A and B are shown apart, each in its own frame.
Chain A
Amino acid sequence: MDDQAQLTDYSPDGVDLTLIRWMLSLSPAERLELFEQHVNEIIAIRELNAAT
């Protein structure tokens, strides 16, 4: 458990701070590019499962 505690970092209200730090390590252009890829992959998956 101690090892796990060192590998994660959540705020008291449950926000994953490692994810925030990773986002902040990117440039705004990289964040936008990542968002486009991310959201388009979600749309593709949703279209593949449109009937469900």
Chain B
Amino acid sequence: MLQLRPAATLRALHEGGVAFVLVGGVAAILNGAPVNTFDVDVVHSRDIDNVARLVRVLEDLDAVYRMQPERRLKPNGSHLSSAGHQNLITRYGPLDLLGTISRNLAYRDLIPHSIELNISEGLRIRVLNLETLIAIKEELNGEKDRAVLPVLRRTLEEKRKL
């Protein structure tokens, strides 16, 4: 049976020394929002050394592009150095590697808007904060972004009461 293992994906990136910020649905869940998703979205540092580490981790994860998976096209350093999005499938499930999000926000732009969370023993990762997740969804303003905004906004309100 197909199994999604987002924690294993994040552990592989972390242990491979990859610098990244978790964004998207899994970031919303870790921030306490009761939403659902099927993929792991991360914005990675596009520094040359980080991209080299990322390529090694992706090799270990058997990552290939989700588009035409039968061709088993692998992302390379050039793809991962771009500002674009790489939509991959790995042995732990879908993984989207985003060079930038929203208005060209890159890894270093997101660091001040992220928090570090423990997600399992010895695994502490950087996660985009709820305020910024909401701001990005508001800016994107697509149908799927608008659909999730009420839950994100109410979660932020409830968090602020704690």
Contacts and interface: CB of A to CB of B under 8 A. Distances in A.
Q: Which of under 10, 10 to 19, 20 to 34, or 35 or more describes the interface residues of A?
A: 20 to 34
Contacts of A29: 118-120
Contacts of A39: 4, 36-38
A14 B2 CA distance: 33
Interface string A8-52: 000101111101111110111101110110111001100100000
Nearest to A21: B158
Contacts of A47: 1-2
Interface string B1-45: 111111100000000000000000010011011101110000000
Secondary structure of the A contact surface, majority rule? helix
A15 B154 contact: yes
B122 to A, nearest CB: 11
Nearest to A13: B150
Contact of A24 (B7, B150, B162): B162
A32 B120 CA distance: 9
A33 B30 CA distance: 10
A47 B4 CA distance: 13
Contacts of B67: none
B37 to A, nearest CB: 8
A39 B5 CA distance: 10
Contacts of B3: 40, 43
Contact of A36 (B1, B4, B151): B4
B117 interface: yes
A22 B29 CA distance: 12
B104 to A, nearest CB: 28
Contacts of A35: 6, 26, 29, 36
**Closest 9 pairs between A and B when the two form their complex, measured CB to CB:** A28-B117, A15-B154, A24-B32, A13-B150, A19-B34, A28-B30, A23-B32, A23-B34, A11-B154
Interface of A: 11, 13-17, 19-24, 26-29, 31-33, 35-36, 38-40, 43-44, 47
